[in-house]
Amino acid sequence: MEAAGVELFNPPMSRVEYGRNVRHVFSALFFTVSLTTVTLGPFFEAYLLNVGGKGGNVLVGAVESTRGLLQLVSAYPLGMISDRTSRTRLLKHALPLWTISLGVIVIAVVSQWVPLFFVGIALWAPCSLCWSGAAQVVVAESLPPGGRAKAAANLTSLRLAATATAPLLQMLLLLALGRNHWETPLLRDVIVAGVVLWPAVLILTARLRDLPPLAKTANGAGSGAASSFRTSDLDRMIFGVRLRWWAAGTLEVISIVMAVGAGMTVKFFPLFFRVDYHFTPLELCALSFAYPLSISLMVQVCRRVSKRLERLHASVLFHFAATACLWAMCYFRSLILVLPVYMLRGALMTAWGPIIRAVVMDLVTSEVRGRWNSLQFISMFTWSGSAALGGYLADYARDYRFTFVVTAWIYTFSGLLCLVFLLVFPREQQAAELPVPLPGGGGAA
* 297-338 per-position pLDDT tens digit: 887 787 778 777 777 788 888 889 999 999 999 999 999 999
3-state secondary structure of 228: coil
Share the mean pLDDT of the chain: 80
CA dihedral 425, 430, 432, 438 (to 10 degrees): -140
Q: For the chain, what percent of residues have pLDDT higher than 70? A: 81
Q: What integer pLDDT is reported at residue 257 of this predicted model?
A: 84
Burial 142-169 (b: 16+ CB within 10 A, else e): bbbbbbbbbbbbbbbbbbbbbbbbbbeb
Whole-angstrom Cα Rg for the chain: 22
pLDDT of 104 above 90: yes
When pLDDT is cut at 50, 70 and 90, the band that residue 229 belongs to is low
Residue 3, H or E segment: strand 2-3
Nearest C-alpha neighbor of 50 from the set 281, 342, 339, 387 = 281
Please report which confidence band the pLDDT of residue 436 belongs to, taking 50, 70 and 90 as the band edges.
very low
What confidence score (pLDDT) does residue 393 get?
85
SS3 215: strand
Contact (Cβ atoms closer than 8 angstroms) between residue 284 and residue 409? no
The shares of helix, strand and coil residues in the chain, as percent rounded to the nearest 5, are 80, 5, 15
> DSSP secondary structure string, 68-104?
HHHHHHHHHHHHHHHHHS-HHHHHHHTHHHHHHHHHH
Phi first, then psi: what are they for 367, rounded to 5°?
A: -75, -10
Q: Residue 338: is it exposed, middle or buried by C-beta count within 10 angstroms (0-12/13-18/19+)?
A: middle
The angle that helices 148-177 and 12-40 make with each other, rounded to 10 degrees, is 40
How do residues 16-53 score in pLDDT, each as one tens digit? Answer: 788 888 888 899 999 999 999 999 989 999 999 899 88
Q: How far apart are CA 439 and CA 445, in angstroms?
A: 14
Per-residue model confidence (pLDDT) at position 4: 43
* Residue range 262-308, pLDDT digits in tens: 888 888 899 899 989 999 999 999 999 998 888 878 877 877 787 77
Predicted confidence (pLDDT) at residue 439 exceeds the cutoff of 90: no
Tell me the per-residue pLDDT of 349-389, one tens digit each, with 9 for 90 and over.
887 776 777 777 777 766 666 666 666 667 766 777 788 78
Domains in the chain (CATH in brackets) are 15-210 (1.20.1250.20), 228-427 (1.20.1250.20)
* % of the chain exceeding 90 in pLDDT: 32
Cβ proximity of 180 and 281 under 8 Å: yes
Confidence label for 3 from pLDDT (cuts 50, 70 and 90): very low
CA–CA gap between residue 15 and residue 11 (Å, rounded): 6
Choice between 13 and 196, residue whose per-residue pLDDT is larger? 196
pLDDT of residue 431: 43
Whether 229 and 429 have beta carbons less than 8 Å apart is answered as: yes
- Amino acid identity of residue 197, one-letter, is L
Gap between the Cα atoms of 219 and 6, Å rounded: 9
N residues, the chain: 445
Using DSSP, state whether 217 is helix, strand or coil. strand
φ and ψ at residue 241, rounded to 5 degrees: -125, 140
- Closest among 307, 306, 283, 303 to 295, alpha carbons compared: 303
Evaluate if pTM is beyond 0.75: no
Distance in angstroms (rounded) separating the CA atoms of residues 182 and 187: 7
pLDDT in tens, 136-167: 778 877 777 666 667 766 777 788 789 889 99
Look at residue 14 in the predicted model and tell me its pLDDT. 66
424 or 120, higher pLDDT: 120
CA-to-CA dists, residue 243 to 221, 239, 249, 252, 374, angstroms? 13, 9, 10, 14, 20
- The whole-angstrom separation of Cα 43 and Cα 188 is 9
- On the question of pLDDT at 2 being above 60, the answer is no
pLDDT exceeds 90 at position 399: no
Look at residue 429 in the predicted model and tell me its pLDDT. 59
Cα 332 to Cα 330: distance, rounded to the nearest angstrom: 6
Residue of higher predicted confidence among 92 and 218: 92
End-to-end, the C-alpha distance of the chain in Å comes to 18
The burial of 334, by beta-carbon neighbours within 10 Å (0-12 exposed, 13-18 middle, 19 or more buried), is given as exposed
Say whether pLDDT at 72 is over 70.
yes
- Which strand (E) or helix (H) includes residue 6? strand 6-8
Q: Which helix (H) or strand (E) holds 237?
A: strand 237-238
